[in-house]
Amino acid sequence: MSNFISVAEARDMSGLRIVLTPGIPGPWSESAKGIFGVKKLDYAWVEQVVGGENLDLIDWTAQATAPVAVWNDEPPRATWIEQLYLAERLAPEPKLIPDDFEDRMRMMSFCHELLGENGFVWSRRLQILHPTMTNPEAPPEAQAFATYFADKYLYEASRAEKAPEHAAGFLRSLAAQLGTQKAKGSKFLIGDQLSALDIYWAACATIVQPLPHEQCPMTDDFRTMYSTVGPVIEAAIDPALIEHRDFIYAEYLTLPLDL
Ligand SMILES: N[C@@H](CCC(=O)N[C@@H](CS)C(=O)NCC(=O)O)C(=O)O
């Protein structure tokens, strides 16, 4: 595993620093690693403490989640879209945002529905929290962990109940897009070359179907949490989407957890 440095050390440095959560193949963190990795941009790995107070991180970036990308003394970038534009600026090639307007619009919509607020990964997180948040008998540690995420990421029971269908709708739409692209003879989700969406999908598929243990040695707790999706989502996982994830990892990405 790469050497993580503390926020305090990172603050004193210049260049590119990315705050990540060690040991967890989190969809947002793996998405950022994928984008900066494909562009062959070197960066210092900075530690976020999952479930922690992260006071130094709040002082530096005005928020406590990972990933965050910081370039020299520019404002810290804590959302996927700011990170994507930063990576595209620092290393224009390979280009991950299509030039074509229609392609770009479609790609950005899918990326937002995948990674943005109330999107696919966000919905999975609500779905994961729901059983513990509605079970007063759950062990206190589990309740504390769930409540931490629930408060931070705007959990509401009514939205969590709709989360499986919301996530399944995204998967059906992405599978249809992949099918359309294949029919046109493209190996990619948008246009005829790799785009940010291919990378983001590969990184985020873990939240419904993690890579096998040999490729992604996550803890059993996280593996169970990520892969317990329920029947609605299960029915929407088109095997072609998983094949696409595997193709993108094989051709373009290093494995999660930096093996
Ligand atoms: N800020 C990111 C999302 C990042 C995010 O939600 N990260 C979560 C993943 S669960 C995280 O770092 N959780 C760990 C924690 O809050 O301690 C974006 O909007 O693109």
Domain parsing of the chain, residue ranges: 4-90, 101-258
Supply the mean pLDDT for the chain: 96
Query: Would you place residue 212 in the very low, low, confident or very high pLDDT band (cuts 50, 70, 90)?
Result: very high
Among 30, 65, 79, 80, the mutation site with the greatest number of ligand 1 atoms within 8 A of its Cβ is 65
50 CB less than 6 Å from ligand 1? Answer: yes
* Residue labelled with tokens 């509605």: 134
Separation CA 163–CA 146 (nearest Å): 16
CB crowding 173-197: b at 16 or more within 10 Å, else e: ebbebbeebeeeeeebbbbeebbbb
pLDDT confidence of residue 258 = 65
Which atom of ligand 1 lies at the shortest distance from residue 148's CA?
Answer: 16
pLDDT value at 259 more than 80: no
The H-assigned helical ranges of the chain are 7-11, 27-38, 55-61, 80-90, 101-115, 120-133, 140-152, 157-183, 196-204, 220-227, 230-236, 239-252
In angstroms, what is the span from residue 217 Cα to ligand 1's centroid? Answer: 21
Task: Compute the residue count for the chain.
Answer: 259
Given this structure, which CATH class describes domain 4-90?
alpha beta
Separation CA 50–CA 60 (nearest Å): 17
Separation CA 130–CA 107 (nearest Å): 30
Which atom of ligand 1 lies at the shortest distance from residue 65's CA?
Answer: 12
Q: Give pLDDT tens digits for 145-177.
A: 999 999 999 999 999 999 999 999 999 999 999
Separation CA 64–CA 66 (nearest Å): 7
pLDDT value at 236 more than 80: yes
Query: Would you place residue 14 in the very low, low, confident or very high pLDDT band (cuts 50, 70, 90)?
Result: very high
Nearest residue to 34 (alpha-carbon basis) of 101, 109, 111, 106? 111
* Residue labelled with tokens 């990315």: 18
66 CB less than 6 Å from ligand 1? Answer: yes
C-beta separation of 125 from 225 below 8 A: no
